[in-house]
Amino acid sequence: MKVFPKVIVIALLCLSFAATVFPQETLDALNEKAGRLHQQGRYEEATEVARKALKMAEETYALDHPNVAASLNNLANLYQIQGKYSQAEPLHKRSLAIREKALGPDHPDVAASLNNLAALYDTQGKYSQAGPLYKRSLAIWEKALGPDHPDVAQSLNNLAELYRAQGKYAEAEQLHKRAMAIKEKTKK
């Protein structure tokens, strides 16, 4: 009987050690769970898991580490989907700042953060704020991934939709055509 509590203590110590030694595995598991919940439309549950992932990232890594930025981005996207724009914006901005500092201004992850912040503004009708971010995101993806990459096509579509919403139909059409051409090339 007295051995049982020692086994539990040893098991708990092992789990604690594993979480310390292999934090990325645990962080990845939380992010994957949040992603699954998000895909299932279970946004509040996904948000709670994403909060835990962010807390773990902040406790495990430096506050300016790319893993913290990724967790910020995930949580911001969940807030955005739920219409909690005032909660999403500072997280998107912080994620962008971390990625720019840690990875450099021309990294594809910076482009993703720019795109996500632009989408937040776009959703709110803040087109003058969204446009420059979409353009910078597109430029980074073109430079980093090449002009025919699927991420470039998606970025072109995002900017085209912004132009369409502003009534700039000719510009939107050009970008949509270019995006479709990329998609056709990459399908083969």
The Cα 45–Cα 49 span in angstroms is: 6
Q: State the residue range of the domain holding 133.
A: 104-188
Q: Which of 46, 68, 90 is the last residue of a domain?
A: 90
Same-domain pairing of 80 and 145: no
Same-domain pairing of 66 and 23: yes
What is the Cα Rg of the chain in Å?
20
97 DSSP assignment: H
pLDDT of residue 24: 62
Domains held by the chain: number: 2
pLDDT of residue 22: 46
- Inter-helix orientation angle 23-39/66-81, to 10°: 20
In the chain, which stretches have pLDDT less than 70?
1-25, 188
Q: For residue range 9-19, what is the model confidence (pLDDT) as tens digits?
A: 444 344 444 44
pLDDT of residue 21: 46
Here the tokens at position 64 are: 């300016």
Same-domain pairing of 157 and 79: no
Same-domain pairing of 127 and 159: yes
H, E, C per residue of 33-61: HHHHHHHCCCHHHHHHHHHHHHHHHHHHC
Q: Which of 34, 63, 90 is the last residue of a domain?
A: 90
- Could you count the other beta carbons within 10 Å of the beta carbon of residue 125? 11
Same-domain pairing of 140 and 75: no
pLDDT of residue 187: 85
Give the distance from CA 123 to its chain's centroid: 16
Q: Which of 33, 67, 90 is the last residue of a domain?
A: 90
pLDDT of residue 43: 96
> Does 35 fall in a domain?
yes
